[in-house]
Amino acid sequence: MLLPKTLSKGDAVGVIAPASPPGGDRLQCALPFLESMGLQIKLGKSIERVHGYLAGTDKERLEDFHDMVADEQVKAIFFARGGYGSGRIAAAIDYQLVATHPKIIWGYSDITYLHTAIRQKTGLVTFHGPMLSSDVADSEFDALSASMFQQLFTPMTLKYDEAISELEVLVEGVATGQLVGGNLSVLVSTLGTEFEIDTSGNILLLEDIDEVPYRVDSMLNQLKLAGKFDHLAGVMIGDFANAEPKKLPSLTLKEVFYDYFSNLACPVMAGFKIGHCYPHFAVPLGGGATMVTDKKRVYITPGVTST
């Protein structure tokens, strides 16, 4: 496990878009949030590029990422938006460069591909958290979501319990393991590639948006058939926004989760406000986590180091 160093006021941070275009107006609305934390902003060269549904060509987006990783002045990289496209640059990333310049990397959704690839190639802990154009620019962006960025300035153990949201226990137990995962549909897209998600002995976090129950069923079935549920330490089911079935009859999402998770030999809890939601509880991926179902709590170790 490789931890990035903490941020300090006055540090420079990079903002890039490795997937879809962030939308200039929304991005500009969000940048003052970073400045309010005392950070200086360096924008990627292709941040305003639009190449169909991509924020510039693969080469341009890859260069932005490599530039920010190599820049000694840049202490963190914040992704402006997900959408689609991160997986297109994963095979060309210089992972040795990432390993020798470990720094905070923050985003979610389509960024799940980069989280998974970077962790499995380098051991670097990265952060699943709200993004600038996608979330910070929203009027609904709330105080708890904003407060999650403070974990980047001081190493802190995170605690998630029912003070944040109601949690449902599908399987009782206690588990400790590395927290991995993120967006379900993106995780499925890693199967059969060199970046295929490694779940063995790990606590798997799942979230998604705009996926109706039969689609979630299909993707969970694919993970199951690929053996990804065979040796899990635990499962945390995050937010599945806009998942109401468009056609009836349909299984409910709760029934789908029950089908796939209720017979696992590891603790499973659902209801975490992690994903395309508010509040959005940001978590480090690749670090340690402990689930305690009888107390409906999860503890997550710090994702940064001050040394």
pLDDT per position as a tens digit, 80-98: 999 999 999 999 999 999 9
Are both 169 and 283 inside the same structural domain?
yes
Residue 7 lies in a domain: no
Tell me which of 60, 207, 211, 280 is the catalytic residue: 207
Task: Show the domain range for 194.
Answer: 158-300
Are both 63 and 83 inside the same structural domain?
yes
State yes or no: is 207 an active-site residue.
Answer: yes
Grade residue 246 by pLDDT with cuts at 50, 70 and 90.
confident
Tell me which of 109, 133, 134, 145 is the catalytic residue: 109
Position with higher pLDDT, 246 vs 286: 286
Are both 24 and 145 inside the same structural domain?
yes
State yes or no: is 165 an active-site residue.
Answer: no
Output b/e per residue, 73-94; b: 16+ Cβ within 10 A. Answer: ebbbbbbbbbbebbbbbbeebe
pLDDT over 90 (residue 247): no
Query: What contacts 275, CB < 8 A, 6 or more positions away?
Result: 108, 183, 207, 208, 209, 238, 239, 240, 241
| Residue that finishes a domain, picked among 117, 152, 187 | 152
| Residue that finishes a domain, picked among 94, 124, 152 | 152
Q: How many structural domains is the chain composed of? A: 2
Are both 54 and 133 inside the same structural domain?
yes
State yes or no: is 166 an active-site residue.
Answer: no
Grade residue 24 by pLDDT with cuts at 50, 70 and 90.
confident
Are both 40 and 140 inside the same structural domain?
yes
Residue 126 lies in a domain: yes
